[in-house]
Structure 1
């Protein structure tokens, strides 16, 4: 592929994204990029991304997100296997002869059978840290009914928030999992402006995949 030559700064920017994705298998956040290059504004991040997009090093996905061009992913070894191979059986009782066999792979579909109804959002902020959800994590959501006390993603007045949701006579109460943050109260007369985007079913970060615990176990 014959792309336009990058400037020195653009190459440093592109190399940072490549190295980060090799190590973490996800893109860095705008905040992480800005801190790495000591940018004072996220606009500098956007400008570099637009330059790489224009020169063909990045592409825009169907989800209106940016990603590394497939040719570069293949050449730089960024492609990952689709699952974890299951190589046989192991006893969890008495000792027995090892059994080696190709038993397929563990994939996301193994952990989350309803993958077609699931989507992810990346967390920005620390209001849910006591629920084990941190800045930069990916929360997994499904378009399910959110019951009293469930964690869910809410869209209100053009802004989104991930909180534990409670319904009462005073309205909708969005409770953070961090005592440094206050509850958000939405009065009943503006309920029609509130949209529940999805129910939290788990999250993904550098330590692995974490499924949501049943309420009794989580409390």
Structure 2
């Protein structure tokens, strides 16, 4: 079915956003990207695409837009466990305060994976293109050197790159303003980053 120019632009935006982030944009993301006056306008354009059969919306799920050709993809809702400091380590809450819907296959997750999300706070990982306010999606798996990880170091949580030198693991910031973190007693990896969601375009 023929799309209007704006509907075609929206379809391109949806596909590009999903390819970059592994999940669909929110209606607020769409509103901000196109300069719509409200999220209602974004919803109206999504409904128009759905009527023309180029997308499908799933009831009861956040960011619940799928393409018909991707209907067999495996999407799951994952919990957001508060904030993770990407700066100097600090206490981190462990209570779910929301959910994200992600495509597990596009992130290379195994069927039995238990991914979760954390909201980044700070600027110590900007060299890895991780910014304040981003959501990092993590999997509970053993880390490999150079993985970006959520780690518990001497009782405090932080987001850093995991490195090993002379069989000694430590955490490296991707910002020269921050020092490496070397554990005095404990270094426990809580999750390995497998995806990133930027909350604005």
TM-score (norm 1): 0.45
Q: Which has the higher helix share?
A: 1
TM-score (norm 2): 0.49
Larger radius of gyration: 1
Which protein has greater RCO, CA pairs closer than 8 Å, 6+ apart? 2
